Structure 1
Amino acid sequence: MGAGRKTQIFYVNGTQSFVPNSPVSSACGRNLRKDQLGGVIFGCKNATIKECLSKQLFGLPAQHFSYVKNIDPGLPLFLFNYSDRKLHGIFEAASKGQMSIDPYGWTADGSERTQYPAQVQVCVRLQCQPLSEDKFRPVIADNYYLSNHFWFELDHGQTRKLISLLASSAIGPGTYIPQNTMKWKTVSRSLPSHETSVEDEAFKKLTSEVEQSTQSTSRYHSPEVASMDADRDIQRDFQVVSTEAEQDEKSLVLMKLKELALNRESQNISFSDDVKDTPDENNLDSAEKGCLEALTGLEKREECPSPPFEYQCIIVQLMQEVKELTAFKETQTQKCRYLEQKLVDAELEIHDLKDRCTILESACNLSLEHEEKTVIQSSDQQHLDLKESLYLIGGYDGESFLASMDLYCPSLNVMKPLRSMSSVRSYASTVQLNGELYVFGGGNGSIWYDTVESYSPICDKWTLCPSLNQKKGSLAGAGLSNKIFAIGGGNGIDCYSEVEMLDLDIGRWIYIRSMLEKRFALAAVESNGVIYVTGGFDGNDYLQSAERYDPREHRWTKIANMNTKRGCHSLVALNDKLYALGGFDGDAMVPSVEVFDPRLETWMMGKPMNHPRGYSAASVVNDSIYVIGGVKFGENILDNVENYKEGQGWQEICTTVVGKRCFLSAISL
């Protein structure tokens, strides 16, 4: 456990959660950027879910505002009930994430400030059956930092999978509007006597429906009702809202007619008796005839013998409005057609540009293939066994920084040049995963990179990959569980403790739990499903400390300190043991070697190398450790290779094929 670190406790709508040995920022979320945020899960209990849905408001404690502020309208949201461990959805944000939209939400009587001020207004995108935890847990498995606690931030891949899973059990569409929040408009002026009885009956019927809806909502909000009853009530609310929406649409014209009629009556407008009461039907278009027929049918149902003249004027007004709406619709239709045509033209132009790019890429590939054939022919058609060889990547030869990549076979003392990287690169990190090599970070001596390249040994081809979130060098790397980890490093000014992870399924780098200490010029290695890091520079001094990351626990844990401060060193795994090789101890380059046995949890001094060296490269081939090049002291760059086998100690390989080289990377398949 890290010294001086405390357990952090936070609450989610009344439910306590804790994360041991973790800063609040890490406990509350994954620290995704706004463009990385695909969705958010909010929390509730049986006692608070009713208020979340009735107010259409979700909330979290204040420390969660670090990512709630990134919520924009339309972002998918989900609601997790801690009481029954079920996930409800699909909701979406109806506002931006803000602080204290309702300052007294989820309190007993509104006398206290809310404990959940990080809030967002919501609506329902698609009403679905809630998911039990065993169904949605595999989708967000990477978010679990304890057996029953998980981060609420979702990336785009997790959000799409959750939406797909929920949509498979959809029970209703549209935006959820609780019945007890609907407002009914009433006409302040009394209707004519022949309409009063009809309106009284309608009002009584409406009052009955509201009372029934209120009772239904009250039962749903009762904390003693089980989650299955809550789901059925929500579904019924959807059906009622849908039915009432259809009724409102049908009655809209009727309400407008009556309102205009009352206004006319209040103005006491008199009309001449010899004016023609009925408009000429021969001069009416189809829309006007429809309005006239609707009014005629209404008058028959209300047993009105004949409509007064002012009603006919209202009808003429409405028919004029219908004409204007029809003309407006036609104008909008023409605009839509124009935009659709522009879209078709744009797609054709994009297709033409893609064809041109394909032609240019083909021409470039032909040129590169010609260069590649020339390089291979100049190396006398050497065929080296990959299992007996290691790759040397980039670095510095004393005169210039290198973009080269070479295949070096120590047993034959032969080196074969391969295709170079897209740019010179030193102080970088290299990881092997699924038979391909990934090189990331580093620099050219004056600037640092955030670029990433992958190399296919089968095709002898480099491919650009998604870039890191920060430009950095002297970082460490490891590959594990189809993921690549970029660890620590710095930019010449700041030293980093941050860790980025590239998930090949998602296709982008995301931040995960940071290390316990800042580390620049550190070393890292993966062994038995766990990542180990050692030493480095924290901005003030070189470190003896070491720590490890277990992806199953999603956290870093301190392990025993080394016996010597080290930076710019190498770390390899051989026969389930870790070897820390050479490096800089704060005063000089050292030849010493330390061995860590995870079963004993201790570091032991091993046999030292023949030469002190740092900024060298090391890799394991056929149960042997090979250390290549590096800096001995000052600007003295080494051109030799040392080999170590258990029980045989260190032996120097006399070779001139590698030449002077430092700040490079070495890795074997």
Structure 2
Amino acid sequence: MPIFLFNYNSRQLHGIFRAVSDGDWKINPHGWVGNTSRETLYPSQVQVEVYSKCPPLDHADYNQIIKNCYHQEGTGHRNKMMFELKKVEAQNLCRAFDRAAGVVNANSRPQPVPRSMPPAGVAGASSSAAPALKPPAAAAPKAAPAAAAPRPAPAAAAASAAAAKPMENGTAPGAWEVMAGGKNPKAPVWGAGAEEAAAEPVNNAAPATSKAAAAKEPAGPSTPPATPKASISDPVYNEESNSNEVTSKASTGSQSGATPGASSQRTSSTPPVAHQVNGASADLEGKLSAVHAAVSAVDTAAADALWNCLTSMTNQMQSCMRENAMLLHGMRALKVENSILKSEIANVRRDTSRVGAAINLEIAAESPALSNIPHTFMGKRIQDIFLLGGHNGGAWLDSMHLYTPAYRSISDVGKMPFARGYGGAAIIGRSIYIVGGGDGASWLQTAVRYDIDTKEWFQISDMENVRGSLAVAALDGRIYAMGGGQPGINHDSIEIFSPDVNTWAPGPKMAASRFTTAGATLGSAIYITGGFDGSYLNSVEMLDPRVGRWQPVAPMAHKRGSHVCTVADQDLYVIGGWDAKDYLAGVEIFDVRSGGWRTAAPMAAPRAYGAAATVDGSVFTLGGMQSQVHNETVERYDAANNKWEMQTVPVPDAVKRAFLSACVADAY
């Protein structure tokens, strides 16, 4: 493969070189730098040798030849260059270098150096590794000879190749790039592939004019090997050259003393006409026989190699198929075992649910001292979801139930002071606060506190405004009651309760009035979503008490009210609701880190006026209603697989409620 070196600084093209190694990474790890403590800035390298030493080409000399190698990167950027050349471009560049060197006939170009080294003892031979890439110095132009220019013998060419030493650090005149002709880096060039088959190169001997002249030549074999070699087609110039022509004894005569290191011309070894006529047939027959033998050997070797490769691939494929069959069999067995284990786990959970519920009741009734010890199950703290009030389709409720996801159990833990729905609930420490709401006949501004440990109810101060279908959240030991109202009245105000002084105080107003809204605490801020102010909203606001005002955040994709909110893994979940047309099953998740929303898988059952809670990192939705039908189901969101799962509920009637309030507390 011909290779040309491009100097970025001078914009000159140098040649002609050829590769003596495959392209590799950091062949010279310190090339083109000032000292060995730094690594090269040009790690993609190839080792080359000089094929034909020519003066460099200026930009005007090669620009039209490689004009198709230029391309633009984006609008307004200057031309960039692709360094892979097509065959015709490489041919034209070689001819341009020949013209620059004054070569008038392509046959007079120096012949390629065989990759096998010359015999030991030949002048200029080298057994060292191929030199690393080095930018060549420009050679002085050669005068065009009147006759065909002499071709250096392979030994002399090898000596010039060996003279190309690895580049010393810091000597490069600029940044160099390699331009390679052709797309196959391993394709033989200028006969190199065929010449590698020879153990030693066969050299054409120049005629010796006298014994004295012959004595000046370096010592070498007295006669070259007589094995004929086939003609090699030059892939760049599309010409044929006999790189290892044979000189018979009849044609050498007094030239038998010529040495392998002597250079020769194409016409210098031509025998007399009589010898040519007499030996033409024999030479041609010998060459054709050699060609046929070489082709047969190549075909046979290639066929054997291909057959061996196919046989190996077939064996490997059969082995893979056997292993795959074994894996499939093992997977089927695992599926059966998994099904059995799931059934057993379900049985254990049902038994544990019953036992856990019984133990909770016994501890609460008989051992009050033990009720302050947190419950754990399989190393995890057990948490309960409190279901408070609501409507079951027949009546407004004053009942309280505990749903324990770890046991999938439902427990009745008493009654509230009065029936209530449309309210909001939040927890601070071991106290649950229930704020506002209504009972269908009246709307409330009252609030109560429930002590989880003593199971006692306490009346706290009333709010300033009547608020039903409001949002309630706890932050920094205070309760925030936001929005809500009653039919015909929608609030944009909020009130903040301080338990230590038992008083409500007004807070900063929201940008919009929000009835049937929902919110939650995320980090150090409170978020409020959607709602109704005459039409349903998709806007969202955030309150950071340190800032002291509401700030807008990215809106939801869907307008909704009567929905629920919860927080899991630092994400805000907005679930279900009503948009004046449909009950919704859709779920949107707000990522506070990116400030954007994404859509999650919808619930199995649409629901509005339900409840949501997060236990052990999992989001649960409970109750609610759809088209006047009250749900008695519980769903859990599997975030890893983005799907909702129906949960087994031992007492469905306890979950069958809408307009309820819910909060989470540790089980004791």
Taking structure 2 as the reference length, the TM-score comes to 0.42
Return the structure number with greater helix share. 1
